Amino acid sequence: MNCIHCDRSAHANCRFCGRAVCKDHLQEMPYIVELYTGEDGDQKAIVVPNAIYCGICKPRERPVPMPELK
Ligand SMILES: [Zn+2]
Ligand SMILES: [Zn+2]
């Protein structure tokens, strides 16, 4: 698999969309692993602060409702 930016050997895959990126082009982006509601009723998130990001896709900060999947 080659980097989608420069077509050289990729070193990682975007955590969000799976595109391959080399180490020159990989970026970092916080990634929400899990959302849950705390005992106080507040929504909380477990976040990886430096997940691999390709720089192309547009991950949303919040999960998008997908009612059509139900
Ligand atoms: Zn590259
Ligand atoms: Zn991506």
Q: Model pTM? A: 0.74
Q: Which residue type sits at 37? A: T
pLDDT per residue over 7-46, tens digit each? 999 999 999 999 999 999 999 999 989 999 999 999 999 9
Angle at 32 between CA 57 and CA 40, to 5 degrees: 145
Structure tokens of 11?
A: 């070193």
- What is the 49 CA–ligand 1 centroid distance (Å)? 22
Ligand nearest to the CA of 21: 1
Distance (angstroms) between ligand 1 centre and the Cα of 7 equals 6
CA of 31 to the centre of ligand 1 (A): 21
Q: Distance from the CA of 2 to the center of ligand 2, in angstroms?
A: 14
The string of DSSP codes covering 7-48 is: -SB--EE-TTT--EE-TTT-EEEEEEEEEEE-TTS-EEEEEE
